[in-house]
Homo-oligomer: A and B are copies of this chain.
């Protein structure tokens, strides 16, 4: 599991980390119960500050993607709070609106857009089979 961080990006580093870990889980690169490096370890590996990694882990913990095990450290988890699904869908709808509007105006066809989605989905489902 290698992280690719863009320090020049306007996306905060801690967000890039948490994002990539979620994607890693979806792709099957990270499996349930797997141990993530300690905050200090990952920080020194990447060459960033411990607190930045800590914040990323905090977000993941909050959302349920990892759990902090007192003996084993930070473990990948998929214990999502189901009741948050509808909140997620609402946020997703908002997030998509602008992108779709822009794609539409650029003349990108509906099927091109959905194909993009399906490709990504397939990447993830491939991790399962």
Q: Which residues in A have some Cβ–Cβ distance to B below 8 Å? A: 7-10, 12-13, 19, 22-23, 25-27, 48, 62, 67-72, 75, 78, 80, 83, 85, 88-89, 92-93, 95-106, 108, 110, 113-114, 116-118, 120-121, 124-125
A12 nearest in chain B by CB position: B70
Residue among A13, A19, A70, A118 with the highest chain B CB neighbour number at 10 A: A70
Residue among A10, A12, A88, A100 with the highest chain B CB neighbour number at 10 A: A100
The 4 closest A-B pairs by CB, nearest first: A26-B101, A114-B114, A8-B67, A110-B121
8 Å CB contact of A7 from B71, B89, B95, B96: B71
Q: How many copies does the complex hold?
A: 4
CB-based contact B7/A70 at 8 Å: yes
CB-based contact A100/B120 at 8 Å: yes
- Pick 24 A–B contacts, CB within 8 A, sort by A: A7-B69, A8-B70, A12-B70, A13-B70, A22-B98, A22-B101, A22-B105, A23-B98, A25-B105, A26-B100, A26-B101, A78-B105, A80-B106, A85-B106, A88-B108, A92-B116, A93-B116, A96-B99, A96-B116, A96-B117, A100-B124, A104-B124, A110-B118, A114-B114
